[in-house]
Amino acid sequence: MNSDLSKILNELAVLLDIKGVEFKPRAYEKVAYIIESLAEEVDEIYKKGGLKALEEIPGVGRGIAEKIEEFIKTGKIHELEKLKTEFPVDINGLKKVEGLGPKTIKRLYNELGIKDLGSLKKAAEAGKLKKLEGLGEKSEQKILKSISFLEQFRGRFSIAAALPLSRRIVERLRSLPEVKKAEFAGSIARMQETVGDLDILVISDKPSKVMDFFVKMPEVQEVTAKGDTKTSVRLKVGMDADLRVVAPESFGAALQYFIGDKYHNIAVREIAVKKGYKLNEYGLFEESGIKNHELRVAGETEEEIYKTLGMQWMPSEMRTDHGEIEAALQNKLPDLVGYEDLKGDLQVQTDWTDGDNSIREMAEAAKKQGLEYICITDHTAALAMTGGNDEKRLLKQMAEIDKVQKEVSGIKILKGAEVDIHKDGTLDIDDETLAKLDVVGISVHSRFKMTEKEMTKRIVRAMENPNADILFHPTGRLVQKREAYKIDMAEIIKTAKKTGTILEANAYPERLDLKDEYIRQALESGVKISIDSDAHSTSHFQFLEYGIGQARRGWAEKKDVINTRNWEEMLGLLK
């Protein structure tokens, strides 16, 4: 519901923009963004409290509330349908291309008849874009590059869309009397940042009942295959889901097969063969001496399979054949940071800048999530569009935090900032003020196109500032949207080690920055990380899970993550 509505509101925003309507597009865009991250489904909110409840959503006034109501009731927004007939273009597809705003989309359609990514690609390849005034060779190449980047992710979904959905389906299956066990597997179990399809495994001796239930779920759009062992459906959100029903004695083998990625599976199977076994999704078998008659030696649990092969059992997130198999054979697996281990969150935005909620609301929400402390890190002045703090306002906010702290108990509110790194590597707040903060996060939000050398120099210089504690979202990547800026990661890690700067594993699902392999490189060099939600709304603390998942993929242990400590100890680890 929410992601569909969000898509539609975004589309409406662009089409209104193309028509030249003022203000409204920004308002729709903002609401679309907020709705996408709401914990509760919008139709549930509406069911409970009608239009009034919709108006409680930040940014939603009467007009937008009515549009949302119309969408809930009819599945459509009339105004959008009308605009679409006037301008029949795949807005959501084209908008993803870097550098394509409403103005360019309008010109591309009017002058070249470009309607979607396919026709855009064709026109670019034929050199037609560069002939348009103001576009040129460079823009054409940039568009082609962006299209090929997007093509990598075609048909893939964010973990933040897939995991909650997968969990909901698994919970529902578990509630059936015919189902003895249900688990999800595949890329979601590995906490990969994007997911192709959902894979669910169930133990049941009444498979056809389970399959019947599965294909009738409200999320299902279409059944693509139905049998007693495997059923596949296409969900309304566009994702596919596979359900497999297995016997109890094969459940561990099925999990093992469907959780590890292909490379992990192939490597484990080779070990099995070397030791004289055969491993498949039904079990681990050995020859009995009688032809076509194999003996099952393991299969009910994953543990017994790995154990029989002389390996430690390992968490799903590690199963990518990046050294975990060798480590498991030598009994040397790391003890990964757990999903319950975080005590604090060191990057939190409030309504002092571009967040939706007050300092107090964010503190209360973090407490509810089980955290002991948060650090308020609003943007600084260089990020003008967020209304960022300058020195004076930052001091004012610190006083406000003191005041709020007196009013709330059970959660410590630390003072911080997300300080912008200027293009020359200097910081956006003076050193005297920075020294007053508990935690100084630094980050890049502009001039992403610098050369690798320039960008590395810029960030290194910023890290060398004795007040700079944590490098926030170090590479600037946006999952499925923007590639990381060019940066010499080895140099950044070296500087982090030398200066004692912490590297952030940003948990915001669109960022997940650092990514797993960089986390691992950082840890191997003895650099510590923080896992932060980058919350801009009270519902965003739940994102921490994705950051922990990414950190586990990067083999992080509890000791490597500074915010697994209480706040006093954590502060002791900063510069």
Q: Does residue 187 interact with ligand DGT by CB under 6 A?
A: yes
* Contact window for ligand DGT (CB under 6 A) among 32-40, 193-201, 422-430, 519-527: 193-201
Options 11, 199, 418, 510; binder of ligand DGT; rule CB under 6 A: 199
Q: Does residue 157 interact with ligand DGT by CB under 6 A?
A: no
The distance of closest approach from Cβ of residue 58 to ligand DGT in the complex, given in angstroms and rounded to an integer, is 33
Strands 344-348 and 373-376: parallel
Residue 249: which of 204, 186, 298, 206 has the closest Cα? 298
The enclosing H or E element of 235 equals strand 230-235
Q: Does residue 273 interact with ligand DGT by CB under 6 A?
A: no
Options 21, 39, 51, 266; binder of ligand DGT; rule CB under 6 A: 266
The distance of closest approach from Cβ of residue 224 to ligand DGT in the complex, given in angstroms and rounded to an integer, is 14
Residue with tokens 């943007």: 379
Binding site for Zn ion (CB under 5 A): 443
Options 41, 261, 286, 321; binder of ligand DGT; rule CB under 6 A: 261
Q: Does residue 170 interact with ligand DGT by CB under 6 A?
A: no
The distance of closest approach from Cβ of residue 164 to ligand DGT in the complex, given in angstroms and rounded to an integer, is 16
On whether the CB atoms of residues 162 and 190 are closer than 8 A, the answer is no
Contact partner, 443, from ligand DGT, Zn ion, Ca ion, none, Cβ < 5-8 Å per class? Zn ion
Q: What angle do CA 310, 316, 320 make, to 5 degrees?
A: 80
User: Hey, is 373 helix, strand or coil?
Assistant: strand
The distance of closest approach from Cβ of residue 457 to ligand DGT in the complex, given in angstroms and rounded to an integer, is 37
Query: Residue of minimal CB distance from Zn ion?
Result: 443
For Zn ion, give the closer residue by CB, 146 or 443. 443
The distance of closest approach from Cβ of residue 504 to Zn ion in the complex, given in angstroms and rounded to an integer, is 10
Displacement of CA 339 from its chain's centroid (Å) = 16
Q: Does residue 195 interact with ligand DGT by CB under 6 A?
A: yes
Joined together, the tokens standing for residue 397 give 């906010």
Buried b (16+ CB within 10 A) or exposed e, 266-303: ebbbebbeeeebebbbbbbbbeeeeeeeeeeebbbebe
User: Hey, is 519 helix, strand or coil?
Assistant: helix
Joined together, the tokens standing for residue 206 give 């009444």
User: Hey, is 534 helix, strand or coil?
Assistant: coil
For Zn ion, give the closer residue by CB, 203 or 382. 382
Binding site for Ca ion (CB under 5 A): 186-187, 197, 199, 242
The distance of closest approach from Cβ of residue 288 to ligand DGT in the complex, given in angstroms and rounded to an integer, is 25
Joined together, the tokens standing for residue 239 give 């994702």
Q: Does residue 68 interact with ligand DGT by CB under 6 A?
A: no
CA 154, CA 156: separation in Å to the nearest integer? 6
Residue 263: which of 321, 216, 200 has the closest Cα? 321
Options 25, 102, 186, 283; binder of ligand DGT; rule CB under 6 A: 186
For ligand DGT, give the closer residue by CB, 186 or 425. 186
Positions touching ligand DGT (CB under 6 A) are 186-187, 195-197, 199, 257-258, 260-262, 265-266
